[in-house]
Amino acid sequence: MKYILLLCFILINGLLVAQYKISGKILDKKTKQPVEGVSVFLSKTTIGTVTNNKGEFQLEGIKPGKYELIAKSLNYEEFVQFIQTAEENQLLVITLNPTTNMLKDVIVQQYDENGWEKWGAIFTSYFIGSPDLSKKCIFKNPEAVKFRYNSKTNKLIAFSNENLIFNNLTLGYKITYILEKFEIDFTENTFSFNGYPLFQELKPKNEKQASQWYLMRSNTYKGSLHHFINSLYKDNLVRDSFEIRAIQIIDDEEKTRVKKILKNLHGEVITTDSNNYYQKVRGLGPNEYKVVLDKLIPCNSIVQFSLNDSNSKTLYFTNYLEITFLKKRIPKEYAKILPVYRSNEFIKNEISLRSNTPIKLYPNSNYYDGYNLLIEGFWAWSEKLATMLPSNYNL
């Protein structure tokens, strides 16, 4: 299964990192009066608050990077704005549109009345995680999710007008999730989603549970996409045990060419690299067209400092890359779904850029545009809500 990742839940780790704060006030756009009780938070983090009776809010402990600032309240339109940390503390004035002014423009979306009974298991598997991953991630209000299936396009869409609430008892977080997009294309075998999660630490029942959460968070982080993006930004691939190799697409003409070369060899000496490549191409099946090259790709060949943004770096590459993490083996529950049972192998992933345009990486390990990144392999199975960590998680 291919997986279009729209969200990244990544963090810069370090001992001494500058921290910032954002202050502001929220007003009703029509009356210009302050709005109390608005939930204000930075998506994918544990940083959030509620406005006071003067409409004021303050977010502190923010590490350098780019964030999505969310303001949400009943009877008001949702507010979303990109925020970058600045040397000076930021003071924002946000105006919210009352939803009552838009009732005449609201279009009621059709949905399957028995949607959860029909599609709930698929939603759980694709969004929350496989049974092994999601068994302790409790979905508190599944009735809030509505489904619409289009038989002509063979696509399933899920949406909700309510916040989705989850208690992840494996990692120790309550997650409040604003679902913006959920789509499965069964024909292309792709899945994409987008949304705004707020994490809140659950209170452990005892020291044993606190220790379990600590260990599970650490194990979940290691080898994750979160970890990889962080490692890319900091140029720590070797230290963090990631390896990157190019994947070459082999067409039928190239297969024929290689077979002729091998057939016509009569004791000639060829380089080891060439021989390895020829053997890999010869070993491809009738419907196999990818060969992983042996040479490692250094970080600085695909990640560069951004020319117009000193706070970010740019990730760009062509075709496909294979990402291997050398400190974690394929878990048994994932190996069971592979064509060949391979639980002794290191976890591997494939990534490509859907629109062949660069991706911006930030020091808080968020990246944009996430829809441009297509992932396959282990991450397509593992990067789900049940394994989400907030971007301000510290290993």
Residues 83 and 140 occupy one common structural domain = no
List the domain range (segments joined by +) for residue 126.
115-215
Residues 126 and 274 occupy one common structural domain = no
Residue 20 has a pLDDT of 87
Note the Cα 219 to chain centre separation in Å. 17
Beta bridge partners of 167: 138, 174
Residues 303 and 327 occupy one common structural domain = yes
Q: Are 248 and 278 in contact (CB under 8 A)?
A: no
- In angstroms, the CA 140 to CA 218 distance is 25
Residue-by-residue DSSP string for 77-137 = --EEEEEE--SSPEEEEEEE-BGGGGGGG--PPP--TTHHHHHHHHHIIIII--HHHHTTE
Query: Strand pairing of 367-368 and 137-139?
Result: unpaired
Which tokens go with 250?
């082999």
Residues 308 and 340 occupy one common structural domain = yes
Domain harbouring 59, CATH code: 2.60.40.1120
> Which three-class secondary structure state does DSSP give residue 26?
strand
- In angstroms, the CA 242 to CA 323 distance is 7
The last residue of a domain, from among 215, 235, 269 = 215
Does the residue 163 lie in any domain? yes
Residues 289 and 183 occupy one common structural domain = no
> Which three-class secondary structure state does DSSP give residue 175?
strand
- Phi and psi angles of residue 205, each rounded to the nearest 5 degrees, phi first: -70, -30
The last residue of a domain, from among 80, 105, 130 = 105
Query: Strand pairing of 2-4 and 190-201?
Result: parallel
Beta bridge partners of 34: 27
Residue 4 has a pLDDT of 53
Residue 2 has a pLDDT of 58
Does the residue 60 lie in any domain? yes
Residues 89 and 131 occupy one common structural domain = no
Q: Which amino acid is residue 173, in one-letter code?
A: Y
Residues 242 and 257 occupy one common structural domain = no
Rg value, the chain, Cα: 24
Does the residue 266 lie in any domain? yes
- In angstroms, the CA 235 to CA 242 distance is 11
Does the residue 57 lie in any domain? yes
How many folded domains does the chain comprise? 4
Does the residue 135 lie in any domain? yes
Q: What is the pLDDT along the chain (395 residues), one digit of tens a residue?
A: 555 544 433 333 334 456 889 999 999 999 999 999 999 999 999 999 999 999 999 999 998 899 999 999 988 999 999 998 866 667 899 999 998 644 444 345 688 888 999 999 999 999 999 998 999 999 999 999 999 999 999 999 999 989 999 999 999 999 999 999 999 999 999 999 999 999 999 999 999 999 999 999 999 999 999 999 999 999 999 999 999 999 999 999 999 999 999 888 876 777 788 888 999 999 898 888 899 999 999 999 999 998 877 789 999 999 999 999 999 999 989 988 887 767 679 999 999 999 999 999 999 889 998 889 999 999 999 999 999 999 999 77
Residues 227 and 347 occupy one common structural domain = yes
Residues 241 and 349 occupy one common structural domain = yes
Query: Strand pairing of 20-28 and 90-96?
Result: parallel
Q: Are 299 and 232 in contact (CB under 8 A)?
A: yes
Residues 310 and 246 occupy one common structural domain = yes
Residues 323 and 305 occupy one common structural domain = yes
Q: What is the DSSP letter of 331?
A: P
Residues 206 and 275 occupy one common structural domain = no
Does the residue 2 lie in any domain? no
The last residue of a domain, from among 215, 234, 266 = 215
Does the residue 392 lie in any domain? no
Q: pTM for the complete prediction? A: 0.87
Does the residue 361 lie in any domain? yes
